[in-house]
Amino acid sequence: MLSVLNNLNRVAGVRGSMIVDPDGIVVASDMAEGLDEQTAGAMASSILKSICAALGKMNQAGFERYLVTGKEGRAAIVKAGRIVLVVIMDKSVNLGMVQVQIKDAAKAIEAKSTF
């Protein structure tokens, strides 16, 4: 699965990516220097739990993808089977291109996952 993350990180504007289980435990990671993978994993787990609860209250289908945009960058949290792919990006990233790459990476991770 690390090779999937390595390929994803080659996309311009992607600063790092990781695979996290629903409890926030990092399964695999390829993060840029200065990015704390434990904090990112915990953040992703917390956001995922809140989103799933909100979707349930709105009678919506299950979680698929969430994009967070801040002043300095973006983070995508994407379902990859029973685990999630977290991608940290620069704010200037081409979202159209990177979303296609993220979708392909999530499918590859789901196919390789034993979770």
Does 6 score more than 80 pLDDT? yes
Q: Which domains does the chain have, with CATH numbers?
A: 2-112 (3.30.450.30)
Sheet holding 73-80, edge to edge: 26-31, 14-20, 83-90, 73-80, 65-69
* pLDDT digit string, tens, across residues 27-75: 999 998 888 888 888 888 888 888 888 888 898 878 888 898 999 899 9
Does 18 score more than 90 pLDDT? yes
Among 59-63, 65-69, 78-82, 88-92, the minimum mean pLDDT is found in 59-63
Q: How confident is the model at residue 115 (pLDDT cuts 50, 70, 90)?
A: low
Q: Which amino acid is at 57?
A: K
Average pLDDT over residues 87-103: 92
CA distance 59 to 41: 27
Pull the structure tokens for residue 78.
């994407």
The reported pTM is 0.89
CA distance 112 to 115: 9
Residue whose C-alpha is closest to residue 48's, from 76, 77, 27:
77
> From the CB of residue 64, how many other CB atoms can be counted at a distance below 10 Å?
12
Residue whose C-alpha is closest to residue 8's, from 33, 29, 24:
29
Average pLDDT over residues 87-107: 93
Supply the pLDDT for residue 106: 95
